[in-house]
Structures are given as structure tokens and as C-alpha cells.
Amino acid sequence: MKKIIYSLLFFFVLGNVNAQQTPADNQSTAISIEGATAHLGNGKVIENSLIMFNDGKITFVGSAMMKIARQGTVIKAEGKHVYPGFIAANSTLGLVEIDAVKASDDQREIGISNPHIRSLIAYNAESKVVESMRPNGVLMAQITPRGGTISGTSSIVQLDAWNWEDAALKVDDAIHMNWPGSFTSGRWWLGEDPALKPNPKYAASTSKIKDYFTDAKTYLAGKKEKMHLPYQAMEGLFNGSQKLFIHVSGAREITDAITIAKASGINNIVIVRGEGSESVTDLLVKNNIPVVLNRPHRNPNSEDDAYDYTYTIAKTLTDKGVIVSIGMEGQMERMNTRNLPFYAGTFSAHGLDKEVALQLITSNSAKVLGIDDTTGTLEVGKDATLFISEGDALDMRSNQLTKAYIQGRDISLESHQTKLWKRYSNKYKTE
């Protein structure tokens, strides 16, 4: 019996030793960052800048040449760069720790229509995957459920917290829906023809979605003698307090999704994934609908697409006036979220201006997620969620953070990966 108790105590202590770092304390003294190149996140750049913040809020943004008293601790950052914290949209960070361990996978629920499912309460603030985002400048994320036709409700979090309550920046910001495709392919593993063919169930599937919207709206307008939790959860879509994120690809599908949603009284819409959206830009601009693109490091979905389609679509949409952000959906999406700035860098390398590419993961993301009043750019009055990098943060060769702050709190840039790097770099160091 004693051996069992000692074993349990050993694993308990070991687990605590290897746990996430303690979240940073609230800001206690003002900070002034002087001399860095400041990338404001709105397309503007200030060389030799002065950024000051106190009590978690930015108090000054301007030139270091101005004769103004520096506040609190002064950080000399000549030759370095300052950026607003990067924001990962459409992410499952904190919902899955180890893909092969079912008990740690909480990204989807059983059922087809789950608007009442709240991803926030399943968010694990102490995830080691979450911890590894911060050294690359990814400081905020939209935590999004997966699965079904209506997956559930997302929330926005900052990535240095004790628990989901402390992490929350915006609670229940949007409901997420997976739109059916007008084409389908056979399941090759069952011997079916894998070639694309028209989906005979497409019309029926879209009709069911339309009916669901209608039933929910009818319920909300009625006396509600008996609670219907899924319908009740959709109230924000009809009064405009929540957005509907429609995960959809294909020009026809995007058009149908927008048309049916708006006909149902839902006007606050975001398109996610968005392959084919370049063909319906007029519709998107007319209805002020942004697009959260999948990350570009992948093959085009269609054999008719240009070889560099996934690299150039951000510029194509931006040039047409569509607000664009970057989402994380896909294989190994949680681990790959740390590469968010490099996805923006890829879009920049294929025609998008560097500062415009930066907006895809700062001000544009903040606008799409509805948090642009408090974050997304370096502006007076906004949260002091920012970081200092040795060089260009969109380039993996020079994205080397020296300091990072979330709401003015001086956060740790250590992770289990940086610890391993230090350990083995000492083991294999050369003379």
C-alpha cells in the first residue's frame, strides 16, 4: 500500500514540476520601449519608435525623437522590432492535448446541430501546446469547436492564464457551421470511386439548414413555454450580437450559404476556408463579409487551380477589398498554430505587401473576431499585448522574441521545447 501511495506522490510531484509556467503577475510598473521599429498592425510603421504602457494599457505611441518623459522601466530596443500580439482565428488550441489519447480530445460533441456547445469551458489553459505558441508571438486565439453541421460556439482567449475564466477575452463570440459541398467523392478505403461527382444530397442538406434557421427563429419569437437549448443558443445570430462563421468552399456553396443565412435574418457572417471565394468577391464586399483563409502551406483542393493558388489567394481577395484573416483548420492544426506568422510571411512572399500581410494576423483578425476595440494594433488606449523581436517576425529566420506582454504582463517565453533546445544544445555544443 505504501508503495502505491509513494508512486502516486511521485507522479503528482513530477506532474507539477513539468506543468506550465505560472501565469505572469499584473503589470506593476510602467514600461517604455525605445528605439525599435514599431509595426502598428494597421499598415503603418514607425522607425525609432517610443511605445509606453501602464496598468495593462498603451499610453503612448510615437517617435522616440519627441521630447517626452519616459515612464517607468526603459527598454532600449534599437535595431529590434515591436509588434502587436498575433491572433490565431479558427483554432482548436487547448481542446486537444494528444490526438491519440481520446480522454484529452474535446474538440467535438456527438450530434449534428450543437449551437449550445461552448468550446470555452473545455479550453485547457495549461496545455503544453498552448505554451509553445508564445515564443513566436501568437498571444491570442479563437477557440473553435469542430464536427457536425453546427459545431458550437467559439470564444477568444489570451494565452497566459490559470484557467478558461482568466483566459477569456470575448465569450461566445460566434457560432460555427459546416456547409455541405455540392460535390462529393467516394470512400476509397471502402472500394468506392474516389473521383468527384455531384452530391445528390446537396439540395436536401441545404434545405435542412434553412428549416433549422426558420425553426429557431420561430421558437425565439414565441412564448418559449418549454426551453429548447439549441434554439435558444442561436438568439445572438438573429439580434446581431454573435457572428455566424460558415466553414465552406466553392463559389456556389459560398453564394448559397450567404443567401440562405441572410434570408433567415442572419447578417453578421464570416466565411471560413473560402476556396473559390475569389469568384464571388463582389458578393462578399457588398455584404461586408470577411474571409478566414486556411493556412497556405498545403496543396490546392482542385486540380484546376493554379499551383500557387493557396499562396496568392490572400492578395487576390485583399486587392478586391475583402477583409482577410488566417485560420488554422487542417492536419496538426494545434501544433502548426505556432507557425501563424510564417503563413502571413508566405502570403507576403507571393505578392502581398509585408505590412498588409501583418494585418492578416493582427488588425484584420481583431476586426473579424470583434475585439478590435481593445487589441490588434499598437494604439493608445488598447491592451498592451505586444512583443519585441530581434528581427522580422514574419520570417522564421529572424522571429526571435526577447520580450512579450499580454495586457501589460511580462509573460514567460519558455516552453518544454525551449527547455529541450537548451538542454541538447549544451550536450552537442562544439568548441
Do 169 and 178 form a contact (C-beta atoms < 8 A)?
no
Which residues on neighbouring strands pair with residue 168, listed in sequence order? 157
Q: What is the mean pLDDT of residues 282-297?
A: 97
Indicate if the pLDDT at residue 64 is higher than 60.
yes
Reduced to 3 states (helix: H, G, I; strand: E, B; else coil), residue 237 is helix
Domain boundaries, the chain: 22-85+377-413, 86-375
Mean pLDDT of the chain: 92
Q: What is the mean pLDDT of residues 11-20?
A: 46
Sign of the alpha-carbon torsion through 369, 372, 373, 378: positive
For strands 73-76 and 81-84, give the pairing. unpaired
- Contact partners, residue 157, CB within 8 Å, separation at least 6: 94, 120, 123, 125, 140, 141, 143, 164, 167, 168, 169
Indicate if the pLDDT at residue 101 is higher than 90.
no
Cβ neighbours of 212 (radius 10 Å): 20
Cα–Cα–Cα angle for 317, 322, 324, rounded to 5 degrees: 80
- % helix, strand, coil for the chain, step of 5: 35, 25, 45
Q: What is the mean pLDDT of residues 202-213?
A: 97
Q: What is the mean pLDDT of residues 149-166?
A: 97
Sign of the alpha-carbon torsion through 156, 161, 165, 169: negative
pLDDT digits (tens, 9 = 90+) for 180-206: 999 888 777 877 787 888 999 999 999
Cβ neighbours of 401 (radius 10 Å): 17
Helix or strand (DSSP H, E) at 231: helix 229-233
Q: Percent of the chain having pLDDT more than 90?
A: 81
Helix or strand (DSSP H, E) at 11: helix 2-17
Q: Which three cell numbers stand for residue 14?
A: 513530477
Q: Which of 177-191, 255-269, 363-377 has the lowest mean pLDDT?
A: 177-191
Distances in Å between the Cα of 278 and the Cα atoms of 8, 177, 270, 294 are 57, 21, 15, 14
How many Å apart are CA 428 and CA 370, to the nearest integer?
A: 47
Q: What is the mean pLDDT of residues 412-422?
A: 87
Say what the pLDDT of residue 135 is: 95
pLDDT band (50, 70, 90) for residue 18? low
Sign of the alpha-carbon torsion through 377, 379, 385, 386: positive
Short-list 165, 166, 168, CA closest to 142:
168
More confident residue, 128 or 421: 128
Do 403 and 51 form a contact (C-beta atoms < 8 A)?
no
Say what the pLDDT of residue 11 is: 42
More confident residue, 137 or 332: 137
| Residue 281 backbone zone (phi > 0: left; psi -120 to 50: alpha; other: beta) | alpha
Q: What is the mean pLDDT of residues 348-358?
A: 97
Say what the pLDDT of residue 268 is: 97
Q: Which three cell numbers stand for residue 298?
A: 498545403
Q: What is the mean pLDDT of residues 48-62?
A: 98
Which residues on neighbouring strands pair with residue 185, listed in sequence order? 196
Do 36 and 78 form a contact (C-beta atoms < 8 A)?
yes
Say what the pLDDT of residue 46 is: 98
pLDDT band (50, 70, 90) for residue 368? very high
Say what the pLDDT of residue 9 is: 43
DSSP state of 63: E
Q: What is the mean pLDDT of residues 152-176?
A: 97
Reduced to 3 states (helix: H, G, I; strand: E, B; else coil), residue 76 is strand
DSSP class per residue in 301-355: SSTTS-TTHHHHHHHHHHHTT--EEEB--STTHHHHGGGHHHHHHHHHHTTS-HH
Backbone φ and ψ for 176, nearest 5 degrees, come out as -110, 135
How many Å apart are CA 361 and CA 50, to the nearest integer?
A: 23
Cβ neighbours of 213 (radius 10 Å): 21
How many Å apart are CA 385 and CA 248, to the nearest integer?
A: 32
- Domain 86-375 classification at class level: alpha beta
Say what the pLDDT of residue 430 is: 58
Backbone φ and ψ for 115, nearest 5 degrees, come out as -65, -20
Burial class of residue 100 in the structure, from the number of CB atoms within 10 Å of its CB (0-12 exposed, 13-18 middle, 19+ buried): exposed
- Homologous superfamily of domain range 22-85+377-413: Urease, subunit C, domain 1 (2.30.40.10)
Q: Which three cell numbers stand for residue 194?
A: 474516389
Query: Measured in whole angstroms, how far is the alpha carbon of residue 358 from the centre of its chain?
Result: 14
Rounded to 10°, the helix 251-263/202-221 angle is: 20
DSSP class per residue in 155-205: EEEESS-SSHHHHEEEEEEEEEEEPPPSEEE--GGGT---SEEE-TTHHHH
